[in-house]
Amino acid sequence: MGHNDAVSDTDTRPFPDPDPAALTDATGEPTADWQQHALDGLLAVLDLRPRPDEGVDVFEGASQPQPGGRVFGGQVLAQSLVAAQRTVDVERPVHSMHGYFLRAGDSTVPITFAVERLRDGRSFSARRVHALQFGRPILSMIASFQLPASGLDHAEPMPDVPPPDSLPSLGERLAEVDDDRIRFWQRHRPLDLRHVQPPIHVDVPEVLAREQAVWMRTYAELPADPALHAAVLAYASDYTLLEPVLRAHGVTWSRPGLRVASLDHAMWWHRPVRADEWLLYVQASPSASGARGLSLGRIYAADGTLAASVGQEGMIRVP
- List the catalytic residues: 238, 262, 312
Identify whether the C-beta of residue 126 lies closer than 8 Å to the C-beta of residue 118. yes
Q: What is the DSSP string of 206-237?
A: SS--SEEEEEEEESSPPPS-HHHHHHHHHHHT
78: three-class secondary structure by DSSP: helix
Q: What CA–CA distances, in Å, run from 93 to 148, 149, 222, 249, 300?
A: 8, 11, 18, 38, 18
Residues 6+ apart with CB under 8 A from 226: 93, 272
CA distance 46 to 62: 8
Identify whether the C-beta of residue 98 lies closer than 8 Å to the C-beta of residue 59. no
Render the burial of 187-206: b for 16+ CB within 10 Å, e for the rest: bbbbbbbbbbbbbbbbeebe
Render the burial of 254-263: b for 16+ CB within 10 Å, e for the rest: eeeebbbbbb
Of 174, 241, 171, 236, residue with least CA distance to 213: 241
Read off φ and ψ for residue 45, nearest 5 degrees. -75, -20
172: three-class secondary structure by DSSP: helix
CA distance 126 to 96: 10
Q: The dihedral of CA 226, 231, 236, 242: what is its sign?
A: positive
